[in-house]
Amino acid sequence: MAVYLDNSATTKPCKEAVEAIRTALEENYGNPSSLHNLGIEAAKTVIKARQSIADVLDCEKDEIFFTSGG
């Protein structure tokens, strides 16, 4: 059995996160700033994610910002 003690650098994602990423990479990969169908669907995913996170953190969705890096 392996014991991994470096979760501050990398943490194994839960199955739900892996599935969400897989869906985004394979099915919903549009640019959410674009006005074509793939972009619109991607934007809906971002909006839904922002609301889900806000619900968990008990804050407003406008207080959630996604950044491109660590």
Instruction: Single out the residue of 61, 68, 57, 56 nearest to residue 32, CA to CA.
Output: 68
pLDDT of residue 38: 93
pLDDT of residue 49: 93
Instruction: Note the pLDDT tens digit of each residue in 8-51.
Output: 778 888 999 999 999 999 998 999 999 999 999 999 999 999 99
What does pTM read for this prediction? 0.74
Angle of the 37-57 helix axis to the 15-26 helix axis, nearest 10: 160
Output 3 or 60, whichever has higher pLDDT: 60
Max Cα distance, the chain (Å): 49
pLDDT of residue 53: 95
Q: Under a CB-based contact definition with an 8 Å cutoff, are residues 30 and 39 in contact? A: yes
Q: Which two tokens stand for residue 27?
A: 């099915």
pLDDT of residue 69: 62
